[in-house]
Chain A
């Protein structure tokens, strides 16, 4: 197999993987973020304390997290068909990916939001802030670095799961690696694909870490990275960036 041949196969597969992971990520954010917040808010002592809702949400998330992904793909076929009109292709694969990632991400969001100092919520309450304001102005911004880290973890997990979704008719890099490497014994090609996945995952992790640190003003990350930033910034630019970044 020549490099050209490999490339011809790899590009479309890469786009398929990024497509299904991208769509699944957007859906996960849209549903998982509010779900994770609700897990915190409806819990005992939370701003929207509601034991019944808290229990239901907890059960839903736990069930969602314990169903094996392969089973989820199969079980969701009717739902996938209803949403995307088909059960094949990368668009269809993004549905079970999202459904699988939502409870996972929701738990991470929950943990991130719980780490916000209760004192900050209290300070906002003392200022006369409503619950919505407290969420908007304290819980989310203060948890942002942790939320970015959670999102990074989720996206990387999604890339892993996308290989599985791919083998069940979703396409993408994972599928390619299995069809060629495992079924047609093109071991070299398989390793090339694995290398590409490693590069993608590493790049995403790096991007996530950098963003999270960039947004964290807690001072604990004022290590080499901050020094690097100061060293490379134009004179005066550093004074302005905290303002322009908000």
Chain B
């Protein structure tokens, strides 16, 4: 649905150059919620602003819903007609809501419809529908200054949906909100994604946001995407930095020689409990549980457990094989290599 190829953005100001994006390739599939995380200054905002060309990439292409936006005429300040039309199919929500203070909630939601050129009756009907959808039907005549942050963002979302977009872009939409409001706004996004088949690309710096709503994620660092993929795939990959951040088990400090430390990850229907006791019973070994966590990620239950078995790795080949047979993902933490778990 959204594809970027070799996206590069260089900012030039007063002779200084800042490369905010170094050849970013991103692929967001239709109907998924895709999250981008990364530290401040990693280029997340630049990336999302390049998707609807609020920022013109220095090089590279952006394709949204089959239209190569970077091929459409216009410059950063003035978009050509075709680009403007393409943008009407891409909704955007902002960290600071960006609602017009001079307009009521309803008039704010009607704004994109005015731009599209719908008549008054159609606009009213559509705005009422959308406000209903985001649970703000009773606030239609309020002004943004009379709303709470969460309510403002709901208006922002309703407004972004007015043009029946296929894609919704969200740059830190919940960063100005408290945890509880964040949760309800995220749930709304998730519901909209399910109900309307909306493809969502969201930027966040909170791993929790990724965990709660995303199907896929990308990690950015220094203007590059260093890791990306479906969360379920990432979690199955022991080398995934993102998975580790998503699902931390604490640091693995040191192990004892003559002992084997395993990290066991189980997803979905794999029985969460019995395997430890089964393993202990079948092989008559004492299992020491070092840490465990169970979470719901991308709508699926995922658990990770760190256990210690007596004996060196070579002594435990059979029990490890047994666990893998159960459909569990097992990684042997090698404490000889320094900081193996990091």
Instruction: Spell out A's residues near B (CB within 8 Å).
Output: 45-49, 117, 119-120, 122-131, 133, 137-138, 141-142, 144, 215-219, 222, 239, 242-243, 246
Contacts of A129 in B (CB 8 A): 84, 115
Contacts of B102 in A (CB 8 A): 141-142, 144, 215, 217
Contacts of B85 in A (CB 8 A): 128
Bound form: Cα–Cα A219–B107 in Å:
17
Contact, CB under 8 Å: A128 / B92: no
Contact, CB under 8 Å: B115 / A133: yes
Bound form: Cα–Cα A242–B139 in Å:
13
The minimal Cβ–Cβ distance linking A101 to chain B, given in whole angstroms, is 26
Contact, CB under 8 Å: A217 / B143: yes
Contact, CB under 8 Å: A47 / B77: yes
Contact, CB under 8 Å: A131 / B87: no
The minimal Cβ–Cβ distance linking B90 to chain A, given in whole angstroms, is 7
Please tell me if B270 contacts chain A, counting CB pairs below 8 Å.
no
Binds A, one of B22-30, B31-39, B93-101: B93-101
Give the A-B pair count, Cβ closer than 8 A: 85
Contact, CB under 8 Å: A126 / B100: no
Contacts of B148 in A (CB 8 A): none
The 8 A CB mask of B123-150 against A (1 = contact, 0 = none) is: 0000000000000000001011110000
Bound form: Cα–Cα A144–B100 in Å:
12
Bound form: Cα–Cα A216–B90 in Å:
30
The minimal Cβ–Cβ distance linking B89 to chain A, given in whole angstroms, is 8
Contact, CB under 8 Å: B112 / A127: yes
The minimal Cβ–Cβ distance linking B263 to chain A, given in whole angstroms, is 43
Please tell me if B16 contacts chain A, counting CB pairs below 8 Å.
no
Please tell me if B46 contacts chain A, counting CB pairs below 8 Å.
no
Q: Given known contacts A126-B54, A127-B163, A137-B100, what 14 new A-B pairs fall within 8 Å (CB)?
A: A47-B77, A117-B98, A120-B100, A122-B94, A126-B90, A127-B87, A127-B115, A128-B79, A128-B83, A128-B115, A131-B78, A137-B115, A216-B101, A218-B145
The 8 A CB mask of B93-119 against A (1 = contact, 0 = none) is: 010101011111001000110110000
Please tell me if B52 contacts chain A, counting CB pairs below 8 Å.
yes
A–B Cβ pairs within 8 angstroms, 20 of them: A119-B96, A120-B98, A123-B94, A126-B87, A127-B88, A127-B111, A128-B86, A128-B87, A128-B88, A128-B112, A128-B163, A129-B115, A131-B78, A142-B102, A215-B102, A216-B101, A217-B143, A217-B145, A219-B146, A246-B103
Instruction: With CB as the reference atom, state the residue of chain A lying closest to B107.
Output: A246
Contact, CB under 8 Å: B146 / A122: no
Contact, CB under 8 Å: A243 / B104: yes
Contact, CB under 8 Å: B145 / A122: no
Contacts of B163 in A (CB 8 A): 127-128
